[in-house]
Chain A
Amino acid sequence: MNATINKEFIFNYLAGKSTALQKQLVDDWMKQPAHEELFYQWLVEYEYQQPQYLTQVDEAIHRFQDFAEGKGARYPTESEIQVLPPVRSRKWAWGVAASLALVLTASGLIFKNSIVYQTYESAVGETKTLILSDSTQVVLTANSSLKVPRFGFGRETREVFLTGEANFDVSHQANNQRFVVRTERGVEVVVLGTEFTVYARPEKSKVILNRGKVQLRYREGKAQKQIMMKPGELVMLDQDNHLEQQVVTQTDQNAPLKDRRFIFDDTTLAEFAEMMQESYGIRVEIQDKSLAERTLVGSFRAENPEELLGIVSRIFNVEITKSGDTLLLTNK
């Protein structure tokens, strides 16, 4: 019986060309979950094939993003609610919060930071290595500060506030608890187990991911945005939080925090080519002038020049062709 039900049969059914008996067949056939799946798959196909009208999906996504940002505070997913402290300690925590609130009001919020947060600072020219209570290692570079909550850090959330630049080697917790780095301009890095660098100076923010996975959240104008980063990627945000580039980098020459890292700071592709020549004796040629002027920002860990070239070519969407000992970069 079921053999008679195929895609054509369902398409006819959807088009209203089925007899009462055939509809009955469909009803029976659909009682099996696998058939139901199949039905909806065909339905999607049918609707794509014979649309009633064309929707503006981008606008719809835009509305969704607005919604998600505003009233649509999501219920946390299971992996986001990790440690639920026992009721008693929670009450206690509320007590603390309440009395803190009082103190803060009384002191006119001036001392808020020093009460709530432990602040670690590094002077100009100084690099500081910190181990947080969750055994996350942080290397603060010069002239930077990191604020860590005195209360509750690692219990319910792990959130720190960074000004300046730091490298984080985040410890993984058994409960997959997230580690969040916030910066002053609403740029937030949500860590999903990882090593990465955050650079948060007034003029721009940069996030460089060495391994693992992080989610970057930021505001651009009114819109809350977020992207996922993969190892080797760099994201830079300017003063208005425009996402500038998503780049990767080169060489341990002037490696700052760790070795085997390539650092680019507004390096043009032409300069990159020179560097490849100097460091590895690889001749890289870029014939397109506008392509040669495009710039790279960031730091990237690569084992060898080939890997680096591969990444750069992906970022700029260029093609690499080899002719003799010269590599030619061209727009795809």
Chain B
Amino acid sequence: MYQGLDGRRKQTSGTLDALAPALSAPAKEFAPLTDDELFIRKNLEADPRLGLELLYKRYYQPLCTHAVKFVGSREVAEDLVSEIFFDFYIQNKFLEITTSYRLYLFRTVRNRAYNYLRWDLSRKAELTEVAQKPILKEQQPDQISQYEELYHDVEEAVNRLPVERRRIYLMRKFDGMKYQEIADELNLSVKTVDVQLNRANQFVRALLREKWLLNLLVCFVSLV
């Protein structure tokens, strides 16, 4: 079973059909879908720590790779995902969940990533734009498609960066490299890296804020 999963993880460019056998019931479109977690569920009941390990093996990779599309940084994505697993464990969430674990984990990660990003945008905003206070309560968009829209916007904003600046931005945010490391690799001064990163950040934020901060303001109004 795990070999199957591992094999699937390494596979980066396989076809859908090649992937299908690795998931136990993907092909039938509307079949009941929770059975493929039976083994994990049994383990969670008997030994939560072991069960959690199995969940990690199965969903950590796709959760991180999904979250990173929102937050743009590996580190942040992995922290978000780990936190969800930790909560899942200490609060015994697995006892309450009536959907699949997959649904719960992904819904949660999307929600937290969404909230993180909006918090991040508001944090960096000018004082006049938005009140400097943390979001008090987790918000959920009304439509599921807003999640997709948000991270597609993030991607597009990054894509619109000039090539060199984008490269630096990704090295920093995505690979978690230090300024000095980037400077060494690209033969630039640390100061140049710093300037490029600032501009890249400003650009990405400006694009995202334009559309998403309005939502945020609406949230604040509704909270007051």
- Check A61–B53 contact: CB distance below 8 A: yes
How many chain-A residues does the 8 Å CB contact rule pick out?
A: 51
Instruction: Give residues 121-163 of B contacting A (CB, 8 Å).
Output: 143-145, 148-149, 152, 155
Q: Which of A7, A74, A226 contacts B89 (CB 8 A)?
A: A74
- Check B26–A45 contact: CB distance below 8 A: yes
Bound: A64/B50 CA distance, A: 11
> B54 — nearest CB in chain A belongs to which residue?
A61
- Chain B neighbourhood of A74, CB < 8 A: 48, 89-90, 92
B29 close to A (CB within 8 Å)? yes
Instruction: Give residues 1-59 of A contacting B (CB, 8 Å).
Output: 6-7, 13-14, 16, 23-24, 26-27, 30, 33-34, 36-45, 47-55, 57
A40-B107, A55-B61, A78-B95 given; A45·B102 CB < 8 A: no
Number of residue pairs spanning A and B whose beta carbons lie under 8 angstroms apart: 155
A109 close to B (CB within 8 Å)? no
Stretch of A65-73, A140-148, A292-300 contacting B (4+ beta carbons < 8 Å): A65-73
- Chain A neighbourhood of B149, CB < 8 A: 23
A63 close to B (CB within 8 Å)? yes
- Check B82–A43 contact: CB distance below 8 A: no
- Chain A neighbourhood of B167, CB < 8 A: none
A83 close to B (CB within 8 Å)? no
- Check A23–B145 contact: CB distance below 8 A: yes
* Closest Cβ–Cβ distance, residue B157 to chain A (whole Å): 13
- Check A228–B174 contact: CB distance below 8 A: no
Bound: A63/B64 CA distance, A: 15
Bound: A41/B99 CA distance, A: 12
Stretch of B5-13, B183-191, B192-200, B211-219 contacting A (4+ beta carbons < 8 Å): B5-13
- Check B14–A77 contact: CB distance below 8 A: no
How many chain-B residues does the 8 Å CB contact rule pick out?
A: 60
- Check A37–B34 contact: CB distance below 8 A: yes
Bound: A109/B26 CA distance, A: 62
Contact with B along A215-259 (1 / 0, CB 8 A): 100000000001110000000000000000000000000000000
List residues of chain B with CB under 8 Å of any chain A CB.
Answer: 8-9, 11-14, 16, 19, 22-23, 26, 29-30, 32-34, 46-50, 52-53, 56-57, 59-66, 68-69, 74, 78, 81-82, 85-86, 89-92, 95, 99-100, 102-103, 106-107, 143-145, 148-149, 152, 155, 174
A75 close to B (CB within 8 Å)? yes
* Closest Cβ–Cβ distance, residue B208 to chain A (whole Å): 15
- Chain B neighbourhood of A38, CB < 8 A: 29-30, 33
Q: List 27 A-B contacts (CB under 8 A).
A: A7-B16, A13-B148, A26-B145, A30-B144, A38-B30, A39-B144, A40-B100, A40-B103, A40-B107, A41-B102, A43-B106, A45-B16, A48-B22, A48-B62, A51-B61, A51-B65, A52-B69, A60-B81, A61-B57, A64-B82, A64-B85, A74-B48, A77-B95, A192-B46, A226-B47, A226-B50, A228-B46
- Chain B neighbourhood of A51, CB < 8 A: 9, 12, 61-62, 65
- Check B12–A44 contact: CB distance below 8 A: no
- Check B100–A37 contact: CB distance below 8 A: yes
A172 close to B (CB within 8 Å)? no
- Check B68–A53 contact: CB distance below 8 A: yes
- Chain A neighbourhood of B62, CB < 8 A: 43-44, 47-48, 51
- Check B148–A14 contact: CB distance below 8 A: yes
- Chain B neighbourhood of A13, CB < 8 A: 145, 148
Bound: A37/B26 CA distance, A: 11
Given contacts A37-B102, A40-B102, 20 further A-B contacts (CB under 8 A): A6-B29, A7-B26, A23-B145, A27-B145, A40-B107, A47-B63, A48-B62, A49-B13, A51-B65, A52-B65, A53-B74, A53-B174, A54-B9, A55-B61, A55-B64, A57-B60, A60-B78, A72-B86, A75-B91, A192-B46
A41-B33, A44-B59, A57-B61 given; A68·B49 CB < 8 A: yes
- Check A37–B33 contact: CB distance below 8 A: yes
> B30 — nearest CB in chain A belongs to which residue?
A34
- Check B47–A45 contact: CB distance below 8 A: no
- Chain A neighbourhood of B89, CB < 8 A: 64, 67-68, 72, 74
- Chain B neighbourhood of A27, CB < 8 A: 143-145
* Closest Cβ–Cβ distance, residue B106 to chain A (whole Å): 5
- Chain A neighbourhood of B102, CB < 8 A: 37, 40-41, 44
* Closest Cβ–Cβ distance, residue A123 to chain B (whole Å): 38
- Chain A neighbourhood of B48, CB < 8 A: 74, 77
- Check A48–B61 contact: CB distance below 8 A: yes
A44-B59, A57-B60 given; A33·B65 CB < 8 A: no
